[in-house]
Structure 1
């Protein structure tokens, strides 16, 4: 299946939104964070997930305001839940969808909760992953904060590092195309406004009014969102089940796609939640096998700030060629293919390298 044609909906406040609808069966709306649905079709793992889901459900994808194929010229002061609800309403109405299940993914988790609480007649089921009703809780991990600091410093480096940090290490074509999807999803000013607005989003008051059955999924490493956030979310929803997925890659349909797809589609089509078997994910021993020196740890810890080699040299009080020598040694020891890989490596271990002894 190739990327389906784009359709366009218009919100009540005049924003044009690009969306796609394909597949057969009950409707699932995969709600966006910063997205570019056309570019996301080029990511092998995501394309495979779309195709597999479309064999079980009618899948709807859309770009939220300011992103992807949707209007880029928007009011940057209007990116809270009401704006995101207008986007969802517009897509559902234009597509002629009376009821749907919602996949609230990362930033969209709060919007999915709010819509289910305020328009219960239009929501069948909820699948929630990676976000929280109080979005600030989902943005607190040190890795996330370090990534967000790159947005203004170096947009291209942010895209490369985010792809590697959130997809995992050595993901080949998936990493390259994911970085391109991040890079083309929006602009740095819009992304900054999106995340600033997200820190103020709080829909905890809506939780008791959600009547749709909910499946809350968690798969995060220790540097990511604590599982307690998702346990509180599941406990606060009237009809929810929490499944703690094995693995550490903070995404769905990548680390164990068959299991994730079976779990999600089973819940959407029959309401059942199948057991998920734990499995070993292995460990990364590159640094353990080739220890970094204290100075190399310091250089690695500073890379996520987005400084050039000259700026790193000034901060550390050393020569530029010394920085270059340290970087070459770091790349060799951790198996990095370049600066973006090293930044992603540092971000995944931010508590180890940001303040080295």
Structure 2
């Protein structure tokens, strides 16, 4: 099986099975924390798949859906406290990376708190911590009246609430993209689960635990993020002694939208991936050994396209595309499709 192929697995946590998946190679990198997630639906999103695949060239990327959300048990209640969120993450880590081995964490958005809390509670396990678009205290996300209004609109009409959230999370998206994300949120969680999750987000507070984080930490935040204000990212970094803060341009909240490459490059560099400029055309090794067709195929692999999508573009069979990718991997000396995608990103072929 290609390392990029996703297989959804389940681990029991209390009385509820939690869905999780692992793709890629190398030491484990646990990624999570989005407001809404669905392992299977997310994987069909080209931008999301490209983002994860780029990381998966150097790390085994492990994602999960929280109880009551996505592919996990939809009858379960979502976590209502950070301690419950932490217990879920601990269960996934114990299942996917058992034993005393070291791991890295990528906590995005509302997942920044649970990732930081895990690092504080388990300093012997966490070697690197990346926090993207995060914050320390949920009450700082908006004034009390605004928080109450958001909760009320979701409580009264989840369809309208999902559209309001789509406008907030995707400020520069097309009307069609916002409609798709609104539908994605409704497919990921019921009204009751969305309501409980948002209340929990507003209640989360890790201000007292951030000083206990010992792992080297990278805090990334886009300057014009409308969902999580830039100032909250700076505040988060300032509370962690080991943190380095990097400001990114743009207003997209999700890392796989907008200038996703800047998020990936900063993250991979921090995790120790060898980044460097592409070799000059005609130099030994690297892309110089690829044909023009193979370079075009590699660019599409790096964009997250499947064999079927690439085949349709070039009017080839999926089997021929698969053979092209196998040849590309051989020429580049990389062990997987995800590693080839990461190579293309690292050498700025896209």
Same topology, TM > 0.5 = yes
Which residue does the alignment assign to 1:319?
A: none
Matched, 1:86 2:87: yes
1-structure distance, mates of 2:173, 2:229: 25
1:94: how far off? Answer: 1.2
2-structure distance, mates of 1:206, 1:270: 29
1-structure distance, mates of 2:125, 2:160: 40
2:139 equivalent among 130, 133, 136: 136
1-structure distance, mates of 2:262, 2:242: 23
2-structure distance, mates of 1:211, 1:200: 24
Helix, strand or coil for the counterpart of 1:216? strand
Number of residue pairs the alignment of both structures matches:
270
2-structure distance, mates of 1:89, 1:232: 26
1:58: how far off? Answer: 0.9
Matched, 1:17 2:18: yes
The superposition leaves residues 269-313 of structure 1 with CA deviations (integer Å, 9 ceiling, x where unpaired) of: 2599xxxxxxxxxxxxxxxxxxxxxxxxxxxxxxxxxxxxxxxxx
Alignment of 1:144-163 (within 5 A): 147-163=150-166
Which residue does the alignment assign to 1:7?
A: 9
Contact 1:123–1:212, Cα closer than 8 Å, also in 2: yes
2-structure distance, mates of 1:197, 1:148: 11
Which residue does the alignment assign to 2:337?
A: none
Contact 1:63–1:69, Cα closer than 8 Å, also in 2: yes
Which residue does the alignment assign to 2:300?
A: none
The superposition leaves residues 136-181 of structure 1 with CA deviations (integer Å, 9 ceiling, x where unpaired) of: 2235498876554431232223333433431233447754543332
Which residue does the alignment assign to 2:29?
A: 28
1:266 equivalent among 254, 264, 269: 269
Which residue does the alignment assign to 1:182?
A: 185
1:30: how far off? Answer: 0.7
> More relative contact order in 1 or in 2 (CA 8 Å, sep 6+)?
2
TM-score between the two structures when normalised by the length of structure 2? 0.70
Which residue does the alignment assign to 1:312?
A: none
TM-score between the two structures when normalised by the length of structure 1? 0.69
Unaligned runs of 5+ in 2: 276-350
Alignment of 1:67-78 (within 5 A): 67-75=69-77
1:51 equivalent among 38, 50, 53: 53
Contact 1:166–1:249, Cα closer than 8 Å, also in 2: yes
2-structure distance, mates of 1:106, 1:271: 27
Which residue does the alignment assign to 2:348?
A: none
1-structure distance, mates of 2:226, 2:146: 7
